Structure 1
Amino acid sequence: MAEPITVDDPDDPRLHDYTGLTDVQLRRRREPAEGLFIAEGEKVIRRALETGHEARSVLMTAKWADVMRDVVEDLAAPVYVVSPELAEQVTGYHVHRGALASMRRRPLPSADRLLSDTGRSTPGADGAPAARRRVAIFEDIVDHANLGAAFRNAAALGVDAVLLTPRCADPLYRRAVKVSMGAVFHVPYARFAAWPEGAETVREHGFVLAALCLSPTSVPLDELAARRPDRLALMLGTEGEGLSPGALRAADTHVRIPMDAGVDSLNVAAASAVAFYATR
């Protein structure tokens, strides 16, 4: 059981993990290098712990120490109790959810290893876990809110795994985790070492690569779903430009979501929800 420790000095070195949380560039450098990520809010912290992530420490106000008493009692990590004012001094913003946890990152598998592992698909007739059958490839999505929402869609709609290109945002950045409501902890993911070269690794595992785009050769999403490919990789691109020319060339087929009222495309998170639902 972790005994809560009251801290009243914003410069206390024990609070180092939580300093400057609003500085995106700083946190993007620090967190992977130091092997940590930040979970914000009771539900997200609980989900991180439930999925086996290890806490380095927890920072909370006195009000939340009571709400999360059962969590605190089971932790081996230190729990620091601070005033709301001190929490804001340390983090750089008003921590209205009242609790933050510094969690240890796990090593990411390679894309090849991730696709080789069995996934969440329905077990076969012999009861053995089935191979991953449907994955998402996110290319260069740099907006953390969009990435978090897309991960939440993937978890809700049964996508077996996510593959990220090298320039994609960090799914474990605080805002991405928060928007996903902890779904980033439930969907296995890996990051390609190189892209679009990594597309060949996906193809070698028997996946059809379907690029969501507005190219003249694209077919309606319903048509792709009707083909029922045994293994499908859905490729989604950046918020502004969509998929890169290299990604489009690497794809086996181009797919579009039919639109009305003169709208040519959807936000990438919304498009992912439509694509994941249509190909369930």
Structure 2
Amino acid sequence: MPIVDLSDPSVPAHAALPLPEYTRLTDVALRRRLEPERGLYLAESTNVIARAVEAGHEPISFLTAPRWLPDLDPLLRRTGAGEYGHVPVYVAPEEVLEKITGFHLHRSAIAAMHRPELPAVADVLRGARRVAVLEGITDHANVGAALRSAAGLAVDAVLVTPTCADPLYRRSIRVSMGTVFQVPWTRIDPWPGGLGQLRAAGFTTAALALREDALTLDELAADPPERLALILGTEGPGLSEATIAAADLAVRIPMSHGVDSLNVAAAAAVAFWATR
């Protein structure tokens, strides 16, 4: 399919978008539901799209402004997009793109990508020595930041619970700088029943929690288990009582100046660094 010009969003070309994947991108609740249902996710910026393609993910279509086409050309060639194949590339001036998406598109391009099938938990854990579990984290930026820290600090895999925000949501991907495509991850369900699966695979499960009787992170790092699963909880309340009770250990990060805890993304980075 050739490049499609959407210069005027009122003309039929705009209505001819094969999926409404690029409309109402600022409606978080809508996107959270519709993207998984349609088997797609959105990757934003040339670098992030390139990382997704390198991970073997296939694009459905691209949306960009004319001035970014030269930067995108290697990706279009590689994926058979625009004049190089069957994947459509929608192009319009930036003011038109803003009307379509609801925000100013300043990161070169967005690509609608086929959502890959998630691997089994056992496959993700195979060969892993240190994993992170994200329980019920609702802020997409925190999920993305935790994934970026996991990639940068050599965490082997990440598991996300059923109530955790989508790591393939556009903001999660952007904050992760595309590292969501580099760290093996999947959903673990049921939870906290899935702790039994981690334990059966030989992992010591460590819940990061504010408990007076908890080990300090320094104590854990001084004598780490052979296989370790670090469990981090949602913003505000932290881990559920059921998870803390079912975990092998409770671990806390020592704090100063009356501060009780860190943001979950910051706590993840500290814990990953200390136990590397």
The alignment's TM-score, normalised by the length of structure 1, stands at: 0.91
Q: Of 37, 45, 50, which residue of structure 2 is paired with 1:46?
A: 50
Counterpart secondary structure, 2:106: coil
Residue 93 of structure 1: how far off its partner (Å): 1.0
CA distance in 2, matches of 1:16, 1:190: 27
Residue 75 of structure 1: how far off its partner (Å): 2.1
**Matching residue of 2:83:** none
Aligned CA RMSD, in angstroms, stands at 1.3
How many residues align? The count is 265
Q: Of 82, 85, 103, which residue of structure 1 is paired with 2:95?
A: 85
CA distance in 2, matches of 1:258, 1:11: 56
Q: Which contiguous aligned blocks of 4+ residues in structure 1 show a shift greater than 6 angstroms?
A: none
**Matching residue of 1:120:** none
**Matching residue of 2:231:** 235
Q: Of 261, 266, 271, which residue of structure 1 is paired with 2:262?
A: 266
The alignment's TM-score, normalised by the length of structure 2, stands at: 0.93
Q: Do residues 19 (structure 1) and 14 (structure 2) align?
A: no
CA distance in 1, matches of 2:171, 2:122: 28
CA distance in 2, matches of 1:14, 1:84: 20
Q: Of 25, 33, 36, which residue of structure 1 is paired with 2:37?
A: 33
Residue 3 of structure 1: how far off its partner (Å): 4.1
Residue 245 of structure 1: how far off its partner (Å): 0.2
Per-residue displacement from partner, 1:123-171 (whole Å, max 9, x unpaired)?
xxxxxxxx11000011000000000000000000001111111100000
* Identity rate, percent: 53
Q: Of 127, 130, 134, which residue of structure 2 is paired with 1:134?
A: 130
Counterpart secondary structure, 2:257: coil
Q: Of 117, 120, 126, which residue of structure 2 is paired with 1:107?
A: 117
Q: Do residues 64 (structure 1) and 73 (structure 2) align?
A: no
Unaligned regions of 5+ residues in structure 2, if any? Answer: 81-86
Deviates more, 1:28-37 or 1:103-112: 103-112
**Matching residue of 2:106:** 96
**Matching residue of 1:7:** 6
CA distance in 1, matches of 2:181, 2:208: 25
Per-residue displacement from partner, 1:175-222 (whole Å, max 9, x unpaired)?
000110101111111112211101111110000000111112111101
Counterpart secondary structure, 1:38: strand
Contact (CA 8 Å) 2:58, 2:79: kept in 1 or not?
A: no
